[in-house]
Each structure stands twice: as structure tokens, then as C-alpha cells.
Amino acid sequence: MRIGGTIAIYTLSVAIFLVAWWGFTFVFPPIFLPSPLATTLKAVEITRTGELPWNIVMSLFRVLSGWALGAVVGSFLGVVMGRLPWVRALALPVLEYFRFVPPVTLVTLFIIWFGFGEESKIVLIFYTAVFIVVVNTMAGAASVREGAIRAARSLGATGTQVLFRVVVPETVPYMVTGLQLALSNAFMTIVAAEMLAAKSGVGFMIWDAQVYTKTERMFVAFVTLSLMGFCLDRSVHALSRRMFVHYRVV
């Protein structure tokens, strides 16, 4: 009933949007605003040629590899920082400063450091993800219930056992939140990076289309982006809820 309702609302919302889009195509010429139908036909065409799937795969590859690296390193650093107040005290000010440097601005620097290949893009996504995961995991690790730690210690657990059997499980919900936020941020960053410095990916498609005023392709890219982001976000959400049923993941 509730799921059915949700699907109905989503469908209705998209339908209204499509109708509005279609309506505006009578006002503006196709070079400004291609119709939903023209966009769909273009999508089918460049799917057949393999161009669209290839760009999707490239963007996904960059996002997921950088994000996964950021997740592993970020969770580890976050737990360490959350449990060791002096490490946290030393690291927090630096985190606070770097927060205001948007990852996209580092594209050029990373190209100088890591070259024009995939490394620079993956490092950029890693950088984007690691911050968010660290901040969230740290908050979680710092707020682990002292009573749970005491209970484990008085049951005979050593320091390492307390870390892996109590602190990490108690931190899981915060990690998951961090991972989800990091994913959506990684997505925004990769598109911008691909527009600036890549020869493939959905972001590149948009840039390429703009240079040659191929508006239909641009619209295909927009729709693709929204669908990719939506699907990724929902999958991570569903997956984490399934994997951590009893960890009180929100």
C-alpha cells in the first residue's frame, strides 16, 4: 500500500514534468529545447552506436572506484579519529579549512600530479568521498555508548576486541550515512571533472554537445545523469539496509 503510493506519486510527478517539458517545446525552437520524443530517439540512437553505454560505464567506473577507496580509507581514519581525542584535536582544524576547497577546483592540480589518465579522476573522487566518510564515521565513533564498551570490557574483551566487536558495529549507521552522502557528492564532482578534463563519461558528453550545439545529446545526458544518480543512491540505500538490518541504520 505505502510502496504502491510512493510509486504512484513518483510516476505522477515525472508525468507532470514531461508534459510541461513537451508544452514548452511549442514555444522554443528544437535547438534550444528538444522535445521528450526527440530526446528519446537520440538516446536510442546513441545507445545503438554504443556511445552512451560506454560513457555511462566510464563515469560509473570512476565514481565507484574512487568512492570505494574513499570508503575504506575514510572509515578507518574516522574510527581512529573518533576514538583518539588527540588525533581528532589535531586533525579537525585542517578538515575545517579544507572543507571550503570544492573538490572540482583540484581537477587541474590532480592532472599535474597524476596525469591526464584515469588516476587523476579517481583520486579526485577519492578526495571527495574520503572527507565526508571521515567526518561522519568520526562523529559515530566518538559517540559510541560508553556503557557498551564497559560491558564488553567487563566480559573480558581486550582493547582490540572492543574496537572490532563494539566500536565498529556501533559506528555502522554513521558510516552508512557518510557513504551515501559521499556517493551523491562523488557523482556531482565526476560530472564536473569530466566536463573539464576527460574524453569520455557523461560529463564529457555534455561538454562535447555544448561545443557543437548538439542540444539533443545534452538532454540525453541530463536524463541519463538523473537516472544514474537515482538508481545508485537507491541501490546503496537498499543494500545497506539489507546488509545491516540490526545495526540501526536509518
Partner 1 sequence: MTEKVRLERVTKIFEDPRQGRETVALKDVSFGIEDRETVALLGPSGCGKTTILNIIAGFILPTEGKALIEGRPITKPGPERGVVFQEHFLFHWLTVEDNIAFALKVRGVSRKEFLPRAHEFVKRVGLTGFERHYPDELSGGMRQRVSIARVLINNPEILLMDEPFAALDAQTRLLMQEWLLKLWEEHQMSMLFITHDVDEAILMADRIFLMGVQPGRIIHELKVPLPRPRARTMLTSQAFMETKAGCLDLIAKESAKIFEHRG
The answer for residues whose C-beta is within 8 angstroms of residue 95's C-beta and 6 or more apart is 131, 134, 135
> Applying CB under 8 A, what is the total number of residues that bind partner 1?
21
Minimal CA–CA distance to 215: which of 224, 229, 205, 228? 205
Provide the minimum distance between the beta carbon of 168 and partner 1 in the complex, in angstroms, as a whole number.
10
Binding string, residues 198-237; x marks residues near partner 1 by CB under 8 A: ----------------------------------------
Tell whether residue 241 is a contact of partner 1 (CB under 8 A).
no
- Applying CB under 8 A, which of residues 145, 226, 235, 241 lies at the interface with partner 1? 145
Contact 183/176 with Cβ under 8 angstroms?
A: no
Tell whether residue 84 is a contact of partner 1 (CB under 8 A).
no
Tell whether residue 141 is a contact of partner 1 (CB under 8 A).
no
Of the two residues 161 and 213, which places its CB atom closer to partner 1 in the complex? 161
Tell whether residue 150 is a contact of partner 1 (CB under 8 A).
yes
Tell whether residue 154 is a contact of partner 1 (CB under 8 A).
yes
Tell whether residue 8 is a contact of partner 1 (CB under 8 A).
no
Tell whether residue 248 is a contact of partner 1 (CB under 8 A).
yes
Provide the minimum distance between the beta carbon of 150 and partner 1 in the complex, in angstroms, as a whole number.
5
Tell whether residue 92 is a contact of partner 1 (CB under 8 A).
no
- Applying CB under 8 A, which of residues 69, 73, 88, 169 lies at the interface with partner 1? 169
Tell whether residue 2 is a contact of partner 1 (CB under 8 A).
no
Stretch touching partner 1 by CB under 8 A, among 32-40, 98-106, 116-124, 164-172: 164-172
- Applying CB under 8 A, which of residues 73, 152, 209, 228 lies at the interface with partner 1? 152
Contact 204/55 with Cβ under 8 angstroms?
A: yes
Tell whether residue 153 is a contact of partner 1 (CB under 8 A).
yes
**Grid cell locating 70:** 574513499
Tell whether residue 36 is a contact of partner 1 (CB under 8 A).
no
What does the binding site for partner 1 look like in residue numbers (CB under 8 A)?
145, 147-148, 150-158, 161, 165-166, 169, 172, 244, 246-248
